[in-house]
Amino acid sequence: MKNLNLGCGELAKKGWINLDIDKAPNVDVVWDLNKRPYPFEDNSIDEIYSSCVLEHLKNLGIFAEECFRILKPGGKIRIKCDYAGYIFLYILKRMEHNRLLQRNYKYTSWHKKNITKDHHYCLFVASHLKYLFGKFSKIKISYPSPNRKLWKNLILNSLPFNLGKQHIQIEAIK
């Protein structure tokens, strides 16, 4: 099985093809996900995973189309990204949000050199992801909880409309 971890950074998955924009330890393929075609054959990948990458891309259409192209029929895609409904995004202004990201992320050497270029260009709700990955079938949307202290999860998970959820995830089949 060929599984692909897109935008892995320093969080490579063992036994997977790990792709990132920067050559970091355990990165197998260095590639900019804003550029096509991705360096894989049509219908050659069994599963695609990406976490906290989609919001950093300037061209979401290329990402969705290329994932569909390289995924085998019946293959699975799982994408986790930042949720636009997260309550703290309404409290913080856009630039403050990006400054907060710069303080909290563990940057690779690429991020350190390109810190002013690494921003969130968009955030997502369920309808965005369903539209973007509309060619796929059996689309399932979920809101995974991050590893936070129990009391924080209890409070934030009790908010209506998933306002306490920081991430949204889509799983789908080609």
Secondary structure percentages of the chain, helix, strand, coil, to 5 = 30, 25, 45
Query: Could you give the CA distance from residue 156 to residue 174 in angstroms, rounded to a whole number?
Result: 33
Domains of the chain: 3-173 (3.40.50.150)
Please determine, for residue 113, whether its predicted confidence score (pLDDT) is greater than 80.
no
Is 131 in a helix, a strand, or coil? Answer: helix
Query: Could you give the CA distance from residue 127 to residue 134 in angstroms, rounded to a whole number?
Result: 10
Please determine, for residue 162, whether its predicted confidence score (pLDDT) is greater than 60.
yes
Is the separation of the CB atoms in 16 and 49 below 8 Å? yes
Region of residue 5 (left: phi > 0; alpha: psi -120 to 50; beta: else): beta
Helix H or strand E encompassing 137: strand 137-142
Of residues 84 and 91, more confidently modeled? 84
For 89-112, what is each residue's pLDDT tens digit? 666 655 455 555 555 555 555 555
Query: Could you give the CA distance from residue 56 to residue 110 in angstroms, rounded to a whole number?
Result: 14
Q: Rg of the chain over CA atoms, in angstroms?
A: 16
Please determine, for residue 83, whether its predicted confidence score (pLDDT) is greater than 80.
yes
Mean pLDDT of 139-156: 82
Confidence of residue 119 (pLDDT cuts 50, 70, 90): confident
Cβ contacts of 159 within 8 Å, gap of 6 or more: 87
Please determine, for residue 78, whether its predicted confidence score (pLDDT) is greater than 80.
yes
Q: Quote the pTM value.
A: 0.83
Is the separation of the CB atoms in 126 and 141 below 8 Å? yes
Residue 114: both structure tokens together: 């390109």
Q: Please report the pLDDT score of residue 112 as a whole number.
A: 55
Helix H or strand E encompassing 168: strand 167-173
Mean pLDDT of 44-67: 95
Q: Please report the pLDDT score of residue 118 as a whole number.
A: 63
Is the separation of the CB atoms in 89 and 124 below 8 Å? no
Please determine, for residue 132, whether its predicted confidence score (pLDDT) is greater than 90.
yes
Please determine, for residue 37, whether its predicted confidence score (pLDDT) is greater than 70.
yes
